[in-house]
Structure 1
Amino acid sequence: MKALIAGAGRLGTQIAQVLAAAGNDVTVVDADADRINALQGQLAVRLVLGDACEPACLAQAGAHTADLVIAATGEDEDNLVISLLAKRQCAAPRVVARVNDSENAWLFDQRWGVDIAVPAATPLISLIEEATGATDTVALLRLSKAGVDIIETVITTHSRAVGKPLSDIPLPDGTVVATVIREGRPTVPGPAVRLQPGDELLLVSHSATEQEIHSAFQ
């Protein structure tokens, strides 16, 4: 599958990482040169510097041949424009748009080229499953055949785990922390890593429930 992601922020980067790891052809476009430069060598994706609200930029990024376009910027106005251009001018078969402000949710429909509108608070796993329309695309995240799940949890300022090293967090049996995503970048989690607000953890487990993971960190 060819996927085009507009927006190289935390969400766009995470989606790109997962889709690329699952073997998809992924392109990420963003107008912020610092963001694009920061991702060089970090992700196995094509990076395009430019404003995805411009038709020429979308065309350069490959929207005409993409199977999936995801508008994941932090601005609802931009996501609507990107969606409309992707659907109307580039004939993208599937367009997903992030809704940052719930008050704008009513705008995100097929009139603006949006096939699937995703609230900003939607968990990463659910968002990718919605975007791709098939859970097998995200086998990296949900390995049901092997009896293994990857469970996501986000550390907030109110989480009991804030400031604690991973070694102090009691995890359910058969559960390990696979990665800590901090400021959009995945890191290998050592036992001395101290958790900070905004950290997103992906945990691999063959037995723990989401509630058990939530209780351990929140």
Structure 2
Amino acid sequence: MKVVVAGAGRLGTQVAQVLGAARNQVTLVDQDDARAAELQGHVPADVRVGDACEPSVLEAAGAHGADLVVATTGEDEDNLVISLLAKRQFAAARVIARVNDDDNAWLFTPHWGVDTAVPAAAPLISLIEEATSATDTVALLRLSKAGVNVIETVITGQSRAVGHTLADLAVPSGIVVATVVRDGDPMAPAPDFSLREGDVVLVVSHAATESEVHAAFQ
């Protein structure tokens, strides 16, 4: 599936991590040069610098005919412009947009090109559930229909994983640790990555159940 993610903050980076780990073709766009450089090579996506509110930037990122465009910037006006361009000018099959200010939620409708609006406070799992529950779109997150689950688990002080590396853990076969969010910052962990209390671990699983993932980390 062809995906364009506009905004490389916490949510946008998590989306790119999960969709890239699920073998989708993902392009992540952000206008912050330093942020793009930081993520280059650390997320399974083509990371580009540019303002996604500019049609030329969206077009270069592959928005024309994309299966999914996700607008996750921190500015509602930007997310609306991106959504409108993606849907009206580039005919993206599905557009999901982040709502930063609840007072603006009424604007995030199909009139602005938005198929699904997601509150800023919603976790990534909720965004994915919103996408998969929508009638017939993306192979995006036909994750549920394809037998692929996205599972989130939080490391606590009592978790068996605290202080251990991913290589130390008996992680079930068939899962990919897509990202670890630490202090609000998502990162792509290597096998020698050591887990700490408060880490949020996000895995993509083709076979393991939620209880098996829980048992491996908790």
How would you bin the TM-score normalised by the shorter chain?
0.7 to 0.9
Q: Match of 1:114?
A: 114
What fraction of aligned residue pairs are identical, expressed as a percent?
A: 54
Q: Match of 1:48?
A: 48
TM-score between both structures, scaled by the size of structure 1: 0.73
Shift of 1:35: 1.1
Q: Return the alpha-carbon distance in structure 1 between the equivalents of residues 102 and 18 of structure 2.
A: 26
Q: Match of 2:24?
A: 24
Alpha-carbon displacement from aligned partner over 1:32-64 (angstroms, at most 9, x marks no partner): 011110111112211221000111111111111
Shift of 1:206: 3.7
Q: Return the alpha-carbon distance in structure 1 between the equivalents of residues 157 and 145 of structure 2.
A: 27
Q: Return the alpha-carbon distance in structure 1 between the equivalents of residues 210 and 48 of structure 2.
A: 41
Q: Match of 2:187?
A: 185
Q: Match of 2:98?
A: 98
Shift of 1:69: 0.6
Q: Return the alpha-carbon distance in structure 1 between the equivalents of residues 26 and 74 of structure 2.
A: 20
Q: Is the 8 A contact 2:31 2:51 kept in 1?
A: yes
Shift of 1:80: 0.8
Shift of 1:112: 1.0
Q: 1:22 and 1:151, CA in 2 relative to 1: closer, same or farther beyond 3 A?
A: closer
SS state of the match for residue 197, structure 2? coil
Alpha-carbon displacement from aligned partner over 1:170-218 (angstroms, at most 9, x marks no partner): xxxx98895532312132587963324xx422368746499x89xx7xx
Shift of 1:14: 0.9
RMSD over equivalenced CA pairs, Å: 3.5
Runs of 4+ in structure 1 deviating by more than 4 angstroms, as ranges, are: 132-140, 142-146, 174-179, 188-192
Q: Match of 1:166?
A: 162
The answer to whether residue 109 in structure 2 is matched with residue 88 in structure 1 is no
Name the aligned partner's letter for residue 8 of structure 1. Answer: A
SS state of the match for residue 43, structure 1? coil
How many residues are aligned here? 198
Stretches of structure 2 lacking an aligned partner (at least 5 in a row): 165-169
Shift of 1:90: 1.4
Q: Return the alpha-carbon distance in structure 2 between the equivalents of residues 83 and 136 of structure 1.
A: 19
Shift of 1:125: 2.4
Q: Return the alpha-carbon distance in structure 2 between the equivalents of residues 130 and 175 of structure 1.
A: 28
Shift of 1:78: 0.8
Q: Is the 8 A contact 1:5 1:12 kept in 2?
A: yes
Q: Return the alpha-carbon distance in structure 2 between the equivalents of residues 92 and 207 of structure 1.
A: 32
Q: Match of 1:69?
A: 69
SS state of the match for residue 43, structure 2? coil
Name the aligned partner's letter for residue 166 of structure 1. Answer: V
Q: Is the 8 A contact 2:180 2:186 kept in 1?
A: no
Shift of 1:129: 3.8
Q: Is the 8 A contact 2:98 2:118 kept in 1?
A: yes
